Amino acid sequence: MAGQSLPSPKEYVNGIVAIVNGKAITLELLRSEIAPLAQSIRAESKTMKEFEEKVVRLQQEILDRMVEKELVLSAFRKRGGDIPKPYVDGMYQDYIKNNFDGNRDAFMRYLSAQKKNEDSFREEIKSRAILEYMREQNRQSLA
């Protein structure tokens, strides 16, 4: 992919850019991760070529992170790991409290703007907790 932008969705089978342990990473998901950053990259870029090169690098970095994330989550599941629901619920409530001053309506508007729902957000929280846990396990094994 280096040196060029992502192909159009028609160039991928069903818009899939990668499959990691059976889970598809779609072009739509990749683009949704890039979209919030594109405007600032455009503002920083002096030419269209520079902008396109930066976007290509960013696309690859984000795709690499997405693949790594799926590999780590898969390894956690293969170990039989689980994050208790009460822990996820607590993180969920803390997120609303810390980022929206406890205003659930503002949080729901945020989710809507992100085209997410509560369940998908809880899954994100759970994934973050798993990733933090696995990183800590990795650090401890290296120490």
The percent of residues in the chain predicted with pLDDT above 90, rounded, is: 52
User: What is the model's pLDDT at position 13?
Assistant: 53
User: What pTM was estimated for this model as a whole?
Assistant: 0.70
User: What is the model's pLDDT at position 125?
Assistant: 93
Q: 104 pLDDT exceeds 90?
A: yes
Per-chain mean pLDDT for the chain: 86
**What value does the mean pLDDT take over residues 7-30?**
75
Query: Do 138 and 95 touch, CB atoms closer than 8 A?
Result: no
Q: What pairs with residue 34 in β-bridges?
A: none
User: What is the model's pLDDT at position 9?
Assistant: 43
Give the up-direction half-sphere exposure of residue 28: CA atoms within 13 A in the CB hemisphere: 6
Hey, which bits of 3-133 come out as E strands? Answer: 16-20, 23-26
User: What is the model's pLDDT at position 64?
Assistant: 93
CA distances to 68, 79, 134, 135 from 141, rounded to whole Å, are 19, 16, 10, 10
